Amino acid sequence: MINRRALSGQKILKNQTNDPSLLKRIKRHVTGREKEFFAATSPGLESLCLNELKTIAETGKEFIETVGGVQFTGRITDCFSANLNLRTANRILMRIGEFKATNFMQLEKKLSDFPWELFLPANASPGINTSTKQSRLYHKDAIAEIFAASIKKRFALNSIPNSAKDDSTDQQVFVRVEKDRFIVSLDSSGELLYRRGIKTHRATAPLRETTAAAILAISGYDGSEPLLDPMCGSGTFSLEAAMISQNIPAGLFRNFAFMNWPCFAPQRWAYIKRKAESGVNQASSAHIFASDIDSGACEALVSCINRYDMLKTIEVEQKDFFDLSPYALTKDKGLVVINPPYGHRMGSRAESVKLFRAVCDKLKKDFSGWKVALISPDITLLDSLPFTLKVQTLRHGGLKIHLLYGRII
């Protein structure tokens, strides 16, 4: 069963307006027609995100994989569903306008009648994120100021009731200018989607949940086999694996920016969530084993697990990886995932290399026949591996990380 206490902090907001005329316009221009959306990902994760979208979408939907994400067309409810279910996307943007402007006077004129009230709560002061390329208007701060002034003026002139609450501060408008064409999008997610709303604790060098989900997918994990996370830290791999194995939507325990949009329909959102919850599976016994030498990390993870009844598929133990025997935990071979501290964030490069080689020796000795997903601090260390693995380079924040994966033979 889903732990309702874990959902108790979520707010289901009422529609932001009772104005019949505005509601009619919202239905005509927002909820009643298909919109263009963009699921933004970290570089290299586009194909994984595309596969996820195809899995959750209705048949007949079209998707375009591009650099940095996946474009798709759908109803506003498809946007809600994407935020709820996608494990590898960073955010979901909805395109709300496109026009050409070559000077600031043209830009102000284009924005003078832009219908912000269809998309934003009345008291919103959204962040304006601007990027420019090969355009005569290239001063990003000046463009952002004009957009912010346009939004404020539009609501003042139309006397839109100020009915939204403090939650509207999470609104963000994305403006992309390329070859004098402005593409305006609204962020539907709010906080980046890697923030699942589960963890209240953070490790020294945490791995983002979206990256962890991608690593599990690349390694072929589908939730049906044992998983060992012997340097678990804050437990990102273990928590993601538990959600995958029990088919728990990635965004089930958090709020989103779209919940403050004028078009937001609480009843429809509640239906989408109930439908997703109905697919959650209950595990009969623990098959995810998390451990760490740090007792504080283990205690924090146990506290998190206890708050979410559906995550009790995870067994936590304070233990040094080098003293661990997989056969003491499970008779079946599965996947072992390891994120050793890499030198960019913790300790020197020499210390990280020494740790990496010790980990590989331990894997060779005790994990023969297991699948492995190992993060390497340096791609040059591939030559010293005592077994053969595939490699894929990923982006984690501003860093490159190298995923080594395959079966230990």
Pick the CATH number of 4-187 from 3.30.450.40, 3.40.640.10, 3.30.2130.30, 3.40.1800.10: 3.30.2130.30
Give the residue-averaged pLDDT of 199-220: 86
Instruction: Read off the pLDDT of residues 94-144 as tens digits, 9 standing for 90 and up.
Output: 999 999 999 999 999 999 999 999 999 987 899 999 999 999 999 999 999
Q: Which pLDDT belongs to residue 350? A: 79
Kindly report which listed range (50-59, 92-101, 182-191, 330-339) carries the lowest average pLDDT score: 50-59
Q: Which one-letter amino acid corresponds to residue 364?
A: K
What does the alpha-carbon distance between residue 299 and residue 340 come to, in Å, rounded to a whole number?
Answer: 20
**Percent of the chain residues topping a pLDDT of 90:** 74
Comparison of pLDDT for 403 and 199, the residue scoring more: 403
* Contact (Cβ atoms closer than 8 angstroms) between residue 39 and residue 53: yes
Q: Where are the domains of the chain?
A: 4-187, 209-250+281-407
Q: Using CB atoms within 10 A of its CB, is residue 105 exposed (0-12), middle (13-18) or buried (19+)?
A: exposed
Tokens of 281: 């599976």
What pTM did the predictor assign?
A: 0.91
Our CA angle for 97, 101, 103, nearest 5°, is: 140
In angstroms and rounded to an integer, the radius of gyration of the C-alpha atoms of the chain is: 23
Instruction: Read off the pLDDT of residues 340-388 as tens digits, 9 standing for 90 and up.
Output: 875 545 567 778 788 889 999 999 999 999 999 999 878 888 887 999 9
- Whether 209-250+281-407 and 4-187 are alike in CATH topology: the answer is no
Instruction: Read off the pLDDT of residues 244-284 as tens digits, 9 standing for 90 and up.
Output: 999 999 999 999 999 999 999 999 999 999 999 999 988 77
CATH 3.40.50.150 fits 209-250+281-407, yes or no: yes
Kindly report which listed range (43-47, 149-153, 205-209, 231-235) carries the lowest average pLDDT score: 205-209
Between strands 227-229 and 35-41, the pairing is: unpaired
Comparison of pLDDT for 323 and 306, the residue scoring more: 323
What is the phi/psi pair of residue 10, to 5°?
-80, 145
Judge whether residue 329 has pLDDT over 60.
yes
Spatial CA neighbour of 338 closest among 393, 376, 288, 302: 376
